[in-house]
Copies of this chain bind each other. A is one copy, B any other.
Amino acid sequence: MKPTVYMEEMDAFTYREKLKRDAVVFVPVGALEQHGSHMAMCVDAALTKAMAGATAQALTDSDEDALEGIVAAPINYGYRSQQRSGGGFHLSGTTSLRGSTLIALARDIVFSLVRQGARKIVLMNGHYENYQFVFEGAQLALEDARKEGAGDARIQLLSYWDFVDDATIAKLYPDGFTGWDLEHAGVMETSLMLLFYPDLVDMDKVDDPLYEGLPAELPNYDVLPIVADYTPPSGCLSSPAASSRDKGVVLRDVAVRNMVDAIRAEFA
């Protein structure tokens, strides 16, 4: 088996050696969700796994300190998509967990990693709606960990897009940036997919009338049951038309560099 940062592709004995060296364990938290007709539904899980992999690799490769990274298996399912950030959980293909389930899932995984010896954990979020539930799960895991004598465990929670800095945003979105919530299936996600999983994107679909009228104009509130008409017909909230593999490279490089800095700031 070849060297890897992915825990799924690692045997247990190799993993244990890394843990003994106090490796940082990343948990990608994604979703299985519609992303328009131009992209596959794995986006949130697959991109977060790829971004966590790139970050773990950069951490490991750097000579600055002894930190190395491991990426645990992604959480493939996420919290209910909301209309203002993902089009809504009424859309077929979007497969949703209840809030309490995602809390429990994050708690159990973090707690189990801590019990194995992990003390430096990064929960990397890739589905906007997940954050609060994952935060809660992490806190519950720490409360449980303390009673097992693992009070020194530490968790960093982040969404990878928050590490794209303003200068990069200004450059990549020359016509103005509408916020990460509206970036569902837009330029950022599409560009990163073109970089990491080009076979799972079909830019030709973007010319379809389905994609007109973006970015979506959504109310500044939610309504339940969901009012289907508020979501654009493609399910995308902003246009992916300006996406490119090159933008994907820029996005990855900036975000990974900034995440590595943030992780070092907390764990080195």
Stretch at the interface among A57-65, A110-118, A168-176, A243-251: A110-118
- The residues of A with any CB-CB pair to B shorter than 8 Å are 1-2, 7-16, 19, 32, 34-42, 45-46, 72-77, 79-80, 82, 89, 91-101, 103-105, 107-109, 112-113, 116-117, 129, 131-133, 135-136, 138-140, 142-144, 146-148, 154-158, 162-163, 199-202, 205, 219-225, 235, 262, 265-266
Work out how many copies of this chain go into the complex.
Answer: 6
Chain B residue at smallest Cβ distance from A152 = B225
How far, in Å, is A71 (CB) from chain B's closest CB? 11
Known interface pairs A35-B11, A132-B79; A157-B46 also in contact (CB < 8 Å): no
- Contact partner of A12 (CB less than 8 A), chosen from B11, B91, B199, is B91
Asked whether, in the complex, the Cβ of A223 is within 8 Å of the Cβ of B100, the reply is no
Asked whether, in the complex, the Cβ of B99 is within 8 Å of the Cβ of A101, the reply is no
Q: How far is the CA of A91 from the CA of B13 in the complex (A)?
A: 10
Q: Which residues in B have their C-beta under 8 angstroms from that of A138? A: 224
- Contact partner of A1 (CB less than 8 A), chosen from B97, B98, B200, is B200
Asked whether, in the complex, the Cβ of A103 is within 8 Å of the Cβ of B99, the reply is yes
User: Chain B CB within 10 Å — which of A39, A92, A107, A220 has the most?
Assistant: A92
Asked whether, in the complex, the Cβ of B146 is within 8 Å of the Cβ of A148, the reply is yes
Chain B residue at smallest Cβ distance from A259 = B221
Asked whether, in the complex, the Cβ of A32 is within 8 Å of the Cβ of B133, the reply is no
Q: How far is the CA of A144 from the CA of B14 in the complex (A)?
A: 32
Asked whether, in the complex, the Cβ of B158 is within 8 Å of the Cβ of A220, the reply is yes
How far, in Å, is A11 (CB) from chain B's closest CB? 5
Q: How far is the CA of A157 from the CA of B148 in the complex (A)?
A: 23
Q: Which residues in B have their C-beta under 8 angstroms from that of A265? A: 219
Would you list 23 pairs from A and B whose C-beta atoms are within 8 A, ordered by A residue? A1-B202, A7-B93, A9-B42, A9-B200, A11-B35, A12-B41, A45-B73, A77-B105, A77-B108, A79-B132, A95-B113, A96-B108, A97-B105, A97-B112, A99-B133, A139-B224, A142-B224, A146-B147, A154-B224, A158-B220, A162-B221, A219-B262, A219-B265
